[in-house]
Structure 1
Amino acid sequence: MPGASKSRADSAVTLTSRCPQGVDGAIVVRLPLPPGALPTLWQDDDRYVASYLSPYTGYYLTGDSGHIDDGYVFVMGRTHDVINVAGHRLSTGSSEEALAAHPDVAECAVIGVADALKGQVPRGFVVLEADVEREPGEVEAELVQLVRERIGAVASLKDVAVVAALPKTRSGKILRKTMRGIADGHDEPIPSTVDDPGVIEVLHPVLRRAGHAP
């Protein structure tokens, strides 16, 4: 963005320090913002300041998470897609990137599911390419190992489930929040923007089986 500099801050380090290279954190933009950027929220200046300006003094909090590698900023997802596994902050986007690299995977989603011991554990859900004829269990085992090799043991998926489809909005956004709520046992409402409610109904028992819901 012309006239703006991008940096990163992480709640685990001093606000003006950059995270180590390759480590995910919150993406922030140094103030002042360029002309035309979001000046406030309609009739709610206090919430604008609290949400975007107060978390990191001197910076605008974008709400995106990512990392810096070789001088480039890689946006991995929204900050609510960062999960806490035994004190380690992990981007589900990094795990999804690893899953998507498998030749049999057409699309995927990783969510953080509540866990009594670790706080959260990452679980993966994948849709396979139409021409894949292998046993789902074989692919699932390969995917768990793939994430472990690419990201590390701390990011190891608790499990991966092959599913027929992932729930999406009509604009194509995967409903990760809805999936996470169902997996955690909440009575999650179906968003009005959902493209096909039937996908959630089919996925419901898979999410509950994978999670820790009663």
Structure 2
Amino acid sequence: MSVTSATQPLINTLKQPSSEAWVKQAIANLNIILLDHSHCERKAAGVALNLMFRYPSNTKLVRMLTAIAREELEHFELVNQWLERRGIPLGPLAAPPYGAGMNAQIRRNEPERLLDSLLVSGLIEARSHERLGLLAAGCPDPELAQFYRGLMASEARHFGVYWLLADTYFERSLVTNRLEELAIVESELLATLHPEPRIHS
């Protein structure tokens, strides 16, 4: 997957595409995928808010992540509307190892913690973009497929914001080298299909 803008170079972010097995698993379990998607949007808003609280003096970060948090909560509401339409109760769902595995890559000392937090968040958004596109292409419900298609641009833009923030606070070479390392880990975490269908499994 590639994301471009006037302020950033062409970046080949994801090291491996999602497997056909994941696509088949997800399409066969759309209700669970929708419920997990709701949790993902809520968590994404929380990530943006947590970064804002952790780095309140980083004005550009606060400004840009305020917009992301707002949009993630809007998506959370939209996905929840789909849950209501399909009669799916909004309840807990066990998380796959993906999120914990990515968070484990975040170094604990500053400034490395900030860099890794931004890049991990960006990679998760990049994978979301790819997988929503696959859901849009394979979903048998045309209206739901259109819904997923409509969210794709936002996920790509969110990756762009996280990349831009990393590029703002760190040297470009440092950002690209660390992104390369984290992208390899990200693909390795998805190499084995999780037995339960999830957006990131």
TM-score normalised by L of structure 1: 0.22
TM-score normalised by L of structure 2: 0.23
Q: Flag the structure with higher helix content.
A: 2
- Bigger relative contact order, structure 1 or 2 (CA pairs below 8 A, ≥6 apart): 2
Q: Flag the structure with higher strand content.
A: 1
Structure ID, larger Rg: 1
